[in-house]
Amino acid sequence: MTDTARPTDVTLDHLLDAELDVKPSPELVARVRNRIAGETMRASWQVYGSERRTTMGMMTRNGIKLAYDDRGAGDPTILFVHGWTCDRSFFAPQAEHFAGRHRVVSVDLRGHGESDKPNEPYPIEAYADDIAYLIEQLGLGKVVAVGHSMGGLTVAQLAASHPHCVAAIAMVEPGPFAAPPEVRAVFEAIANAIEAGNQEPRREFIRNNLFLPTSDPMFIEDVLRITMAAPSHVAAGALRGIARFDGLPVLGDCKVPALHLVAASPFNPPQLMSQWLPNVVHGQTVGAGHINQLEAPDQVNLMIDNFMRHYMLAPSAGGAA
């Protein structure tokens, strides 16, 4: 092939289709594909704030400073709430996607990210009260509250206890609303180990439960680096807050349109969520573990888009399996 006839874009598929003397093994092809997917995913995580102007703010409630980012314009405002020992960057691809059409606010919960980290209990109710205060002070009106993991519990609590602040909720891989005793015992044991100075149970819980066997190893290390940096008193207190959360009465008081968006092994089986929250709409990502908003951002963005378009306009439409 001459230089003038050479394709301008050489992809992995071009190479695989080429007449090579030695074909790469299927295992090598799989590793390369996973590496490409991982680089693409991390790039989407790191793009946060690169294309649209973002205002970083700090608000104080009851002496605790709460950090948040505020960007974009358009109603309704979409508010993103991260999970246990994470920070507001964990919704970076969603913030970037929605800021073109909506005002987007991403918050660091108390104890996390750049917010204050008081040495006190971390119940789910406290997060919801903080967020309601932020919504009111920023004049956001009724928001679409999107929460991941512990943040999924938080947005449900927000809708139940502060209904004037919420138009709809999206619970992305939420933590357990009705944790069985054995799960509560595991969470309490990990919290006890953290307080005793043993961080390995915490690390192993994250590594062994939040990813697929095919998840990108560099992504796993990135997540561990951030989550393990959370102070011990926050990690233990927040985990106890999840373990002790009584979620079923909260779901009973949640009257807004609701999306339950899960991955491969959800804490809350969809059939039970439909019993607990009859108006819930279900979605599931493919090829992603617990942190599916980062591993499969395009899928998550599309499902939130479609949920808002179809179910916020018709909140009586009911759930879908």
pLDDT digits (tens, 9 = 90+) for 69-112: 999 999 999 999 999 999 999 999 999 999 999 999 999 999 99
Distance, CA of 131 to CA of 66 (rounded, Å): 9
Segment 119-158, tens digit of pLDDT: 999 999 999 999 999 999 999 999 999 999 999 999 999 9
Residue ranges of alpha helices (H) inside the chain are 12-17, 26-46, 92-98, 124-138, 150-161, 181-195, 200-209, 217-227, 232-243, 247-252, 270-276, 292-295, 297-311
pLDDT at 48: 42
Segment 22-38, tens digit of pLDDT: 455 555 444 444 444 44
Q: Strand, helix or coil at 105?
A: strand
Angle at 115 between CA 128 and CA 222, to 5 degrees: 100
DSSP state of 143: E
Segment 197-224, tens digit of pLDDT: 999 999 999 999 999 999 999 999 999 9
Tokens of 37: 């997917």
pTM for this entry: 0.84
pLDDT at 294: 98
Segment 269-281, tens digit of pLDDT: 999 999 999 999 9
Distance, CA of 179 to CA of 239 (rounded, Å): 12
Domains of the chain: residue spans and CATH:
3-35 (no CATH), 47-311 (3.40.50.1820)
DSSP state of 186: H
Question: To which H or E segment does residue 68 belong?
Answer: strand 64-71
Per-residue pLDDT band at 47 (split at 50, 70, 90):
very low
